[in-house]
Amino acid sequence: MVTHTPDRQDVSPPRAPRPMRGTPQWAALESHMPALRERTLRELFAAEPDRAATMRISAGELYIDYAKQRVDATGLTLLSAIADAAGIIERREAMFRGERINTTEDRAVLHTALRLPRSASLIVEGADVVAEVHEVLDRMGRFTDRVRAGEHRGATGERLTTVVNIGIGGSDLGPAMASEALRHYSDAGISARFVSNVDPADLTAVLATLDPARTLFIIASKTFSTLETLSNAEVARRWLVDGLGGDESAVARHFVAVSTNAGRVAEFGIDTANMFGFWDWVGGRYSVGSAIGLSLMLRIGRQRFGEFLHGMRLIDEHFRDAPLDRNAPVVLGMLGVLNSELLGAQSRVVLPYSNDLARFPAYLQQLTMESNGKSVRLDGSAVDGSTGEIYWGEPGTNGQHAFYQLLHQGTRLVPADFIGFAEPTDDLLTADGSSMHDLLMANFLAQSQVLALGRTAEEIAAEGTEPGLVPHKVMPGNRPSTTILAPRLTPSVLGQLIALYEHQVLVQGTVWGINPFDQWGVELGKTQAKELLPLITGPGASAPGSDVDGSTAALIDRYRSWRGRS
């Protein structure tokens, strides 16, 4: 039995992360910045012939090239010194040990325990969390085996062929992204649909295509108190019962829940025998490897779901074992800090050259921005720099024909993460017999090359360009990017990509001294929506006693009048 104890590196007890600005390590980086700002990527490539060989890391099956980042060997050493001084090793080990590093919610942060092997043991506050994790995985496995084999059928005896996951945020984005990414591995004739928005258009559009007799609903909510999810779940239940001739008992065969809150699941009317649990130490945006991934397991089966978890574990192990300056989440997280804090980048664009990863940027938006969009440190003091990179993106080559113009010639610096695969999930041949996948990947390679090296006025003039057009055609270059290449988009590789970004969040949160694991900023909007609802449906905001601000009151009045309620 493998016991996961903090024995990998000699660590002292965890401390709150230290603010990094003002430390000697930060000052050293700042004094090196003129060298990084002045030298272009063209110059760096010319000056450092072995740049490509040294600025790459293999982690799991991911080949990560960061030679096109605006950094040199000294800069990289200084960046890892900052991560070290911020206490990343202690914080990482405290996380893996199951300490309550999410102090504002008094919780451990143990998504990494979701992917420990059955043979491992991790005792946290007296309980072996690995045993608990595998008990749930086994239950999920038995259930999904039965649905996939047609043994668990709908109330009328039909096979269940569509699973509808109703959830939002972390209870939607992970499984929705992964289900699309791994569509190629769906092998039991089960399709998955995802409903998240409280906008009735979402559920209406999905239900319109479905047969209740063949539909299984998964109500996924960590808290089981989320307005959007419960509203959609109630309507879905009514639709099912009505569609099956008013048979209330059908709910038991067509509804399962995924939650940490058995009481609320029972209150909602789902038998807790049909509930798959997880734990408060799994943050919503870190939960795709928990029972929140049930829809994915239904599609790809328990073995491939296991490979997905294994992929995450490969990167967990790399994150724990690799020295900081060869550690992919540390290096990439710190390059994000460099770009956003010292090179003036305002966002990071993620460009998967895989249509199957279309939802990956949206998934990363919650993972990174809900985690590190904070402006106070763990001790409640204000941060003194910026935090939380803004993530966005679209699959290549679609983005090329939409926003790459700004990436190449705009005034803003937008560092890019390119993600691509050697083997296609599908390939087609063009009329001349060439592989469309090769065409896609030629674009993948060309774009980062052009971003980095650009084209000068002299080079453009030398091509015979009319002088008046030369400035319009200059490609400034010197725009940083990282390229992540993997053999193929398998369940394991998807798990590796997810964990690579998860751990970057911890690295950056540690350097910024903030808590990446709470999300207090989303609460007030929810409360105020509840307060405004009766004004919208009842007397209006201009009624005596209403203390709604003038702008909102006028909007409510206009809304009510257009709804015919004045």
Ligand X SMILES: O=P(O)(O)OC[C@H]1O[C@](O)(CO)[C@@H](O)[C@@H]1O
When the beta carbons of 354 and 372 are compared against ligand X, the nearer one is 372
The yes or no reply on residue 169 touching ligand X (CB under 6 A) is: yes
Among positions 506-525, residues that touch ligand X (CB under 6 A) are 519, 522
CB of 264 to ligand X, least distance (A): 10
Per CB under 6 A, the segment of 219-227, 248-256, 321-329, 344-352 that binds ligand X is 219-227
CB of 261 to ligand X, least distance (A): 8
The yes or no reply on residue 229 touching ligand X (CB under 6 A) is: yes
Compute how many residues bind ligand X; rule: CB under 6 A: 14
Per CB under 6 A, the segment of 118-126, 222-230, 403-411, 482-490 that binds ligand X is 222-230
The yes or no reply on residue 168 touching ligand X (CB under 6 A) is: yes
Q: 149 forms bridges with which residues in the sheet?
A: none
- Cα 87 to Cα 20, 80, 400, 516: the distances in Å are 10, 11, 39, 15
CB of 175 to ligand X, least distance (A): 11
Burial 420-435 (b: 16+ CB within 10 A, else e): bbeebbeeeeeeeeee
Question: Tokens 């798990």 label which residue?
Answer: 495
The yes or no reply on residue 448 touching ligand X (CB under 6 A) is: no
Cis peptide leading into residue 397 (ω within 30°): yes
Catalytic residue flag (residue 401)? yes
Catalytic residue flag (residue 4)? no
Figure out which of the listed residues 285, 408, 479, 503 binds ligand X, where binding follows CB under 6 A. 285
Residue 193 parent element (H or E)? strand 191-195
| Calpha distance 413→479 (Å, rounded) | 7
The number of residues making up the chain comes to: 566
When the beta carbons of 288 and 331 are compared against ligand X, the nearer one is 288
CB of 522 to ligand X, least distance (A): 4
Per CB under 6 A, the segment of 137-145, 216-224, 339-347, 373-381 that binds ligand X is 216-224
Cβ 42 vs Cβ 477: under 8 Å: yes
SS3 256: strand
CB of 297 to ligand X, least distance (A): 18
3-class DSSP string for 432-466: CCCEHHHHHHHHHHHHHHHHHHCECHHHHHHCCCC
When the beta carbons of 229 and 504 are compared against ligand X, the nearer one is 229
Figure out which of the listed residues 171, 215, 372, 447 binds ligand X, where binding follows CB under 6 A. 171
DSSP 344: -
Beta strands in 340-389 (DSSP E): 348-352
When the beta carbons of 161 and 259 are compared against ligand X, the nearer one is 259
Per CB under 6 A, the segment of 168-176, 249-257, 297-305, 458-466 that binds ligand X is 168-176
- Cα 49 to Cα 44, 45, 482, 498: the distances in Å are 9, 6, 18, 32
∠ Cα 360 364 368 (to 5°): 175
Figure out which of the listed residues 60, 75, 284, 395 binds ligand X, where binding follows CB under 6 A. 284
Catalytic residue flag (residue 526)? yes
From 30, 43, 135, 401, the catalytic residue: 401
SS3 58: strand
| Calpha distance 496→516 (Å, rounded) | 20
When the beta carbons of 369 and 553 are compared against ligand X, the nearer one is 369
From 370, 389, 394, 502, the catalytic residue: 370
Separation of CA 277 from chain center = 21
Figure out which of the listed residues 115, 193, 222, 408 binds ligand X, where binding follows CB under 6 A. 222
Catalytic residues: 370, 401, 526
Give the interface with ligand X as residue ranges (CB under 6 A). Answer: 168-171, 221-223, 226, 229, 284-285, 370, 519, 522
